Amino acid sequence: MRAREYGFVVGQVPTGPANAITDVPGVRVGHANAVPDHAGVTAVWPHAGDPWHDSYFCATAALNGAGELTSTQMIDEWGYEETPVFLTATSYVGSVYAGATRILTAREPRIGRDDVIIPVVGECDPSAWCDVREGPEPGEALVAEALDGARDGAVAEGQIGAGVGMETFGYAAGIGTSSRVVGAHTVGVLLLANYGLTEHFVLVGDPVGRTLAREAASSGEGSCLCLVATDAPLLPHQLRRLARRPFVGLARTGSYGSHGSGEIAFAWTTANLLPRDGADELGLRMLRDDPLSLLFAACAEAAEEAVLNALCAGRELRGYDGTVLRRFPAERFARA
Amino acid sequence: MRAREYGFVVGQVPTGPANAITDVPGVRVGHANAVPDHAGVTAVWPHAGDPWHDSYFCATAALNGAGELTSTQMIDEWGYEETPVFLTATSYVGSVYAGATRILTAREPRIGRDDVIIPVVGECDPSAWCDVREGPEPGEALVAEALDGARDGAVAEGQIGAGVGMETFGYAAGIGTSSRVVGAHTVGVLLLANYGLTEHFVLVGDPVGRTLAREAASSGEGSCLCLVATDAPLLPHQLRRLARRPFVGLARTGSYGSHGSGEIAFAWTTANLLPRDGADELGLRMLRDDPLSLLFAACAEAAEEAVLNALCAGRELRGYDGTVLRRFPAERFARA
Amino acid sequence: MRAREYGFVVGQVPTGPANAITDVPGVRVGHANAVPDHAGVTAVWPHAGDPWHDSYFCATAALNGAGELTSTQMIDEWGYEETPVFLTATSYVGSVYAGATRILTAREPRIGRDDVIIPVVGECDPSAWCDVREGPEPGEALVAEALDGARDGAVAEGQIGAGVGMETFGYAAGIGTSSRVVGAHTVGVLLLANYGLTEHFVLVGDPVGRTLAREAASSGEGSCLCLVATDAPLLPHQLRRLARRPFVGLARTGSYGSHGSGEIAFAWTTANLLPRDGADELGLRMLRDDPLSLLFAACAEAAEEAVLNALCAGRELRGYDGTVLRRFPAERFARA
Amino acid sequence: MRAREYGFVVGQVPTGPANAITDVPGVRVGHANAVPDHAGVTAVWPHAGDPWHDSYFCATAALNGAGELTSTQMIDEWGYEETPVFLTATSYVGSVYAGATRILTAREPRIGRDDVIIPVVGECDPSAWCDVREGPEPGEALVAEALDGARDGAVAEGQIGAGVGMETFGYAAGIGTSSRVVGAHTVGVLLLANYGLTEHFVLVGDPVGRTLAREAASSGEGSCLCLVATDAPLLPHQLRRLARRPFVGLARTGSYGSHGSGEIAFAWTTANLLPRDGADELGLRMLRDDPLSLLFAACAEAAEEAVLNALCAGRELRGYDGTVLRRFPAERFARA
C-alpha cells in the first residue's frame, strides 16, 4: 500500500498515472540486489533514448551536500549529462561507477575512442543495517541487471535496489517516488530516503514523530538523494532551480538538513535533448516564468509524498548485527 | 501580541529572553519611516562594536535568489563584512545604499582614504501597497535615524521600518523575529516577510490557508529576506550552511520559493571578529559538527516562528490605491 | 593611439570593425563626468531595444570577487537582466543605483506598478586619485547623460566616465575595449581597468613591468570589472562559462587576482531576448560546443587587448592630493 | 632535467628545496603503473598523519569543470576531507575509487561501522594514447602500491603514475610539480597536465607554440587537474580562493579553458587539522589578507612552472595505435 491508500495526501496538484518518476515519458527505473537484504543498485534511464547519443540538460543542488553525487563538476559546467543515473550505498559508489563505466564502454564502441564518460552515481549510507565491510559489493553484473531491468510504469519502492538498509525517521524506507501533472507537463521525483530523527517526523502536517519517539529511536540522521525528472522544456539554469525544490518537501516532513546529511538533488528534462552528432547551432524550447512556479510547487509536493511512499513501502529488515529496522506502522495513522 | 501568546509554538528548542535576533549579544535593530504608512529602513548592527574596525564573518544563501542583497560578491569572496546591514523596499535599495555610504564615510575619516566600503542592503517589494513611484524615498537622514535608533531587547515587528507594505500569505506582515538558545549559544532570525499565496499558508502544521483562501486572496507571491545572527564561533563556510536553514522554516509555513521570490539569507557570527589593524595571523575558535546540527534545527524553528510573529504583529494598512492589506486574524486560530 | 597602433597585437583572431564592445550589434556605450578629472559614470545598453521590455540572458563570474556587482543574486537565479549596465566608482555605487532606479522608473510607467527593477552596477575604486569623500558624487542627471549619450561605433577609452582615477600597473588606465570576430559571431569586452603592481606587468608576453618598476611604483593593486557581450546564441549557463574568460586575458597581462581585487565579469548575449509579455513557451537558439571554445579563446584575447587599450588611452591625471598618475609610455615599447 | 635547468624560470618567488609539492611538510606522493606505458595511479597523502583521524581543510575550484573530481559536494559542504587524494585516467575513476574505498576500509576498522568515506579522485583522459577500452585497469593492488610507495622529497614527473598518456601542447607531459616559499609558508602545486593546442603554447612569455605548430599538431585540447598544498593556516573559504590561482598559471602557458577541459583544482592546508575525536570547539589559526596575496601570486607561479616541469620530464610514448606522442624538445629553447 502506498501513502495515498492510507489517506496521506500531499497537496492539491494531481499525480500522474503511476504516481512515479516514470510518469515522465521515457524515464525507466530498475533495481538489482545480489541478495535481498543487502544494499544493491538502482538505475534510472533519463529518457527514452541512449543518453550518450542524446545528452540531456540537467543540474544539481544541495540543501546539505554531505554526500556523493559523482560528475557534479561536469554537470555544473556543461549543463548536460551523457549517462544513466545510478544510486547505491556510499561504500559502493566506486564499484558502481566502475561497473557502469565498463558496461557503457563495452556497449558503445566510440566510448574510450572518440570520448570518455563520467557517470552519475549518487548514494546514501546503509551501514547501520548492512555490513558494507563484508558485502556483497555490487559489481558490473548487478549494474547491468539494474540497467537492463529498468521499466516504465509502477516502480518498486522501499527496501529494494539501492534502498535496502535505508532508514527514515527511525523506520525502514529507501526508494520512494511520486509525480505531479502541471498543465501539459509532468514532474516526477524519486528519492533514496535515509534521513531524520524519529522525533522530527511530520506526517502531512501532523508531528507524529514526537509521539513515536517515545516508542523507539532512529539509528542516526542520514541523507536523502533526490532525483527529479520533467518533460517541461527547461534550460540548465532552470533545472538548477527546480533541483532545490525537493528540499522544500523534505523540510515539511521534518528534515532540517543535519550536518551529516547528503540532501543532494539531480534534476533533468527529457525535452531539449542534444544529439551528439549535429549542427553547431540547435533550436530549443524554453518554459517561461509563471508555469515554472507551478512546477516548483508540484516538485515540493512530489518529494514530500515520495518520502511517505518510501516509508509506507518499507518492510522490516533484520540488520547484520541482528537488530531490526522496523516497518513504519502507517495503518495507525490512516486517514479516512 | 506575538505568536506564542496565541499558542503558536514552533518546535521544542527554548527561545532567548526577548525571542528576537537581539538575544545574540551585541546585535541591535533600528527602524525609521518618513511617514508611518510608507516603506522605510531597518538597520541592524551586527555586533557590539564598529564593523569597519572589527569586521565579522558572514555568508549568504538563496532558496530562490530573485532579489537584491548587495555586497554578495564580496561576502562570498572574503567571508566577512565591514558595515551594518540594511533592509528597505526594492525601489529604495540605491537610495539606502547611497545614504549608508555617505553616513559611514562621514563618520570614519579613513573611509575613502585607506579603503572604501560596500554596504549590505537587502530588500522586498511593497509596491502593491506603497507608491514607490511617488515616495517619499528614504534618504540619508532616515538611514541615520535607523542606525542611531538601533537598540537591543525587544524589536518592533510588523509594519514598521522596512516592513511597511509587506504582505505574507495575503496578510500584513513585514518585520518578524525570533531566537533559540542551544547550549551556550544563541541563534536569532529577523525576517522581512513578504511572500506566499494565502492558500499555501500552514500555521504550525495546520494548513489554514486552504480555508482562508476562500475569504480573500493575496496580491502576489513576493519575497522573504532573512537575517541570521549567532554568537557560536562559526567559520564563513559554516555560516553559508547556516544561512540555508531559514528556508527550512519558510517551507514549513508554506513557501516553495516561487519564481519571483527573493528568499535570500545573510548569516553572521559575533564571534571571531577580525580587527582591521592587526597581526598577519589570528587565533580563532570553531564549533564542531554535532552542535552545528542543533544550531541548524534551531535556526529553522526561529525562522518559522519569525514569520508567525510578523503576521501576528501586522496591523491593517490602507494601500496607496485605497484597498486594504488585512491584518491576520490570529485570534481565530489561537491555541489553548 | 590604441594598442594595435603601437604594434601591441594580442592573439590571432580578427577584431571587429571598431575593435570595441560596440561591434556586437545593438550594444552602445556612454560616458558622463560632472568634472573631467573626477570619477563619473559609464552606461552600457546591452542590446538595440529596451531591456525592460526585452530582457537578456546573462551571467556573472569572479576570479576574485572583492568588489560590487549589484543584482548578482537575481542574475544567478533568473539568468537574465532587465536594465542597462552601469559602471562607476565604488563609493558611488549607491548613488548610481538610485539614479538609475529613478530614471528608468520615470521613463516606464509600469515600473513600480507591475514590477520593480534591480539595476546592474559595477565598480572599481579610484580613491587613490579622486577625492570620493568630497565628490562631486554622480547623481541622477549624470546617469541620464551617460544613458542618453550612449552610442555605437568607437568608444572613448581611458580616463573618462567611470574610468577617471583608474590605475593599472601604476599607470593611468580606466575604460578599455576590444572585440573579436569568430565566424558569424562577435565577442566584445569592455573593462574598467584598475589593477596590478607595476612589477607584474606583461606587455604581450614581455615582462616590461620588472624594468618599469625601477622607475616608479603603483599606488596599490585594485580591481578590474569586465563586461563581455556577444551575439552568439548562448544560454545562461554558457554565459557563465564565457564570463570566466576575461580572467585568462588579465592573467596574461600579469594579474593573479590579488586579495583586494574585484576581478568580476558580467557577460550577456544579444541573441535569445525574452519579451516581457509573451507566451509561456519560447523558441531559442543554442550554440554548441566546438564554436564555444573559439569564443572562449577570442574573449581571453579581447580582454588582454582591452587592458592595453586602456593603458594606451590613459592620459596623465593630477590627483586630488597633487600627486600625478602617470601616462603609460607606450611609445617606448612600440613594435614595428 | 627540469624546467629551471633549461633556464625556464617562472617568476621571482623562491622555490622550496625539492621544488615540489612535497616541500609542504607531510605531503607525500606515490605513483604506480601496472605496465610502464599505460595510465596508472598517483596517490597523494595530504599531511603527515592519517586523514581519516585528522581531517584537513580543503576546497575546489574550476576554470572549466569538464572533468571529474569526486567528493566535490562534500568538500564544498564541510570544507574538509578525510582521505588521501588520487589521480588516474578518466575511464579508471570508478576503479580507483573502489580500490581506495576497499583499502582504506580494510585498514581502519571504524570505517563502515562508525562512518563511511568518500575518497577524492581526479582525472584526465589519456585515451588518445592509452587503450582504455582494453586496459589494464588499475585495481586495488595498484592503488595500494601508490599509497604505500608515497614519499616526500623529489617527485617523479612526466609519464608516470596517472601521468602516462598525458599530452600538453602536443607533447608528452603528465605529472609536473613545483613549489614556492613565501615567508614562513610554502605552497606546492602538482598537476596532471593534459591540455592545450600546440599553437597556443607560451614558454615563459615566449609564444613558441606558433612556430612549433608548423612542425606537428596536438591530438586535442584535454584537461589539467591541479593539486595545491600549503602549510599556511588557511580556512576553507580561503582555500577556495587559493584553488583558483593555478588557472592564472595555466593561462600564462596558453590555456584559455577550452570547452572540454577539466581545469579543476583541489587545494588544502596541512595546518588546522581536525581530529576526529575531539571537543565541540577547536582553536584554529588564520592567515590574514596581505600575506594571502603573496600566496596567490606564488601559487600561480608554481602552477606555470609545474606545467613546464611536466613537459621537460615527458619521455616519448608510443601510443596503442602505433603513433608517437613526442617528447618536448626543451633543449631547443634553453636559456642561458
Across the range D289-305, mean pLDDT stands at: 95
Determine contact: A63 vs chain B, CB below 8 A. Answer: yes
- The pLDDT of residue B217 is 84
Percent of chain A at pLDDT above 70? 100
Q: Distance (Å, rounded) from C-alpha C250 to C-alpha C266?
A: 15
Which one of D248, D295, D305 would you mutate to disrupt binding with C, by most C Cβ within 10 Å of its Cβ? D248
Tell me, what amino acid is at C6?
Answer: Y
Nearest to C11 by CA among C240, C297, C231, C241: C297
Residue C11 at interface with chain D, using a CB cutoff of 8 Å: no
- Among C201, C218, C259, which would you mutate to test the D interface (most chain D Cβ atoms within 10 Å of its Cβ)? C259
Is B296 an 8 Å CB contact of chain A? yes
CA atoms of A30 and A17, how far apart (whole Å) = 19
Residues constituting chain C = 336
Please check the confidence at residue C18 and state whether its pLDDT lies above 90.
Answer: yes
Rounded Cα distance, B217 and B214, in Å: 8
Interface mutation target, options C187, C256, C293, chain D, most CBs of D under 10 Å: C256
**Segments making up each domain of chain A, as ranges:** 16-277+285-317
Per-residue pLDDT at B290: 81
pLDDT for B48 beyond 90: yes
Beta-carbon separation of D245 and C260 below 8 A: no
Average pLDDT on C99-121 reads 97
Mean pLDDT over A127-153 rounds to 97
Q: Do B283 and D280 touch (CB under 8 A)?
A: no
For residues A143-163, average pLDDT: 98
Please write the tens of the pLDDT for every residue from A231-254: 999 999 999 999 999 999 999 999
Residues in chain B closer than 8 A to A297 (CB atoms): 200, 256, 258
Q: Kindly state whether A60 is in contact with chain D, defined as any CB-CB distance less than 8 angstroms.
A: yes
Q: Are B157 and B310 a contacting pair, CB within 8 Å?
A: yes
B32-37 average pLDDT score: 97
HSE (CB half, 13 Å, CA atoms) of D137? 19
Which residues of D are catalytic, by number? 223, 261, 263
Output phi, psi for C243, to 5 deg: -65, -20
Distance CA D10, CA D14 (A): 10
Mean pLDDT rounded to a whole number for chain C: 97
Nine cell digits for residue A54 = 542524446
Average pLDDT of chain B is 97
Residues of C in contact with D245 (CB under 8 A): 256-257
* Chain D nearest C-alpha distance from A194 (Å): 14
Asked if the model's pLDDT at residue D336 lies above 90, the reply is: no
If you compute the radius of gyration of chain C from its CA atoms, what whole number of angstroms results? Answer: 19
D 232-251: CB under 8 A from B: 233, 235-238, 241
Q: Does A111 touch chain B (CB under 8 A)?
A: no
pLDDT on residue D328: 97
Q: Which of C171, C176, C187 is nearest to C230 (CA)?
A: C187
**Pairs across A and D, CB distance < 8 A:** 126
Are the CB atoms for C92 and C40 separated by under 8 Å? no
With contacts defined as CB-CB under 8 Å, which chain D residues touch A119?
Answer: 94
What ipTM describes this predicted complex?
A: 0.97
B221 in reach of chain A (CB within 8 A): yes
Cβ-Cβ contacts under 8 Å, A74 against chain D: 65-68, 262
What is the pLDDT averaged over residues D71-82?
Answer: 98
Confidence of residue A290 (pLDDT cuts 50, 70, 90): confident
Active-site position among A123, A179, A261, A304:
A261
Is the CB of residue C292 less than 8 Å away from at least one CB of chain D?
Answer: yes
Which of C102, D243, D167 shows the shortest CA–CA distance to B135?
A: C102
Q: Of these residues, A157, A167, A263, A301, which one is catalytic? A: A263
What stretch of H or E contains A225?
strand A222-230
pLDDT in tens, A1-37: 999 999 999 998 999 999 999 999 999 999 999 999 9
- Cβ separation C62–B68 shorter than 8 A: no
Predicted local confidence at residue B289, as pLDDT: 84
| CA nearest to B77 within chain C | C65
Looking at beta carbons, which residues of chain D come within 8 Å of A72? 72-73
Does A257 contact D at CB distance below 8 Å? no
Record the cell numbers describing residue C204, joined without a space. Answer: 604581450
Active site residue B223: yes
Burial of C205 (0-12, 13-18, 19+ CB in 10 A): middle
Cα B189 to Cα B89, B163, B262, D13, distances in angstroms: 19, 15, 16, 47
Confirm or reject contact between B291 and chain D (CB < 8 A): yes
User: D16-277+285-317 domain in CATH 3.60.70.12?
Assistant: yes
Other Cβ atoms closer than 10 A to B319:
18
3-state secondary structure of C151: strand
Report the gap between the CA of B203 and the closest CA in chain C (Å).
Answer: 29
* Beta carbons of A97 and D99 less than 8 Å apart: no
Q: Is C297's CB within 8 Å of D247's CB?
A: no
Please say if the pLDDT value at position D163 is more than 80. Answer: yes
- Whether residue B292 lies within 8 A of chain A, CB to CB, comes out as yes
**Where are the alpha helices (H) located in D123-245, listed in sequence order?**
140-148, 209-212, 236-242
Say whether D297 and C202 touch across the interface (CB within 8 A).
no
The pTM assigned to this predicted structure is 0.98
Q: Write the residue in B66, B76, B112 that is nearest to C132 by C-beta.
A: B112
Task: Kindly list the residues from chain C whose CB atom is less than 8 angstroms away from the CB atom of residue D260.
Answer: 289, 293
- Chain C residues in contact with D296 by the CB 8 A cut-off are 256-259
> Hey, is the C-beta of C72 within 8 angstroms of any chain B C-beta?
yes
| Dist. CA D129–CA D152, nearest whole Å | 30
Residues 6+ apart with CB under 8 A from D25: D48, D152, D186, D231, D270
pLDDT (average), residues D62-85: 98
The pLDDT tens digits for B101-121 are 999 999 999 999 999 999 999
Burial state string for B133-143 with b = 16 or more CB within 10 A and e = fewer than 16:
eebebbbbebb
Q: C31, B33 in Cβ contact below 8 A? A: no
CB pair distance less than 8 Å for A90 and D116: yes
Q: Which residue of D has its CA nearest to B233?
A: D281
Instruction: Using the predicted structure, report yes or no on whether residue C336 has a pLDDT greater than 80.
Output: no
Contact A221 B300 (CB under 8 A): no
Contact in structure between A164 and A88 (CB atoms under 8 Å): no
Say what the pLDDT of residue D169 is.
98
Q: What's the mean pLDDT in C289-293?
A: 89
Asked if omega into D136 is within 30° of 0 (cis), the reply is yes
B264 touches B240 (CB < 8 A)? no
Residue C291: is the preceding peptide bond cis (ω within 30°)? Answer: no
Residue in this structure with the C-alpha cell 556483497, named with its chain if needed:
A136
Touching chains, C (3+ CB pairs < 8 A): A, B, D
State the count of interchain CB pairs (< 8 A) between A and B.
74
Cβ–Cβ below 8 Å for A94 and D95 = yes
The pLDDT-based confidence of D217 (bands split at 50, 70, 90) is confident
Q: Are C176 and C166 in contact (CB under 8 A)?
A: no
In DSSP notation, C80-115 reads EE-S-EEEEEGGGHHHHHHHHHHHHHHH-TTBTTTB
Q: Is the pLDDT of residue C290 over 90?
A: no
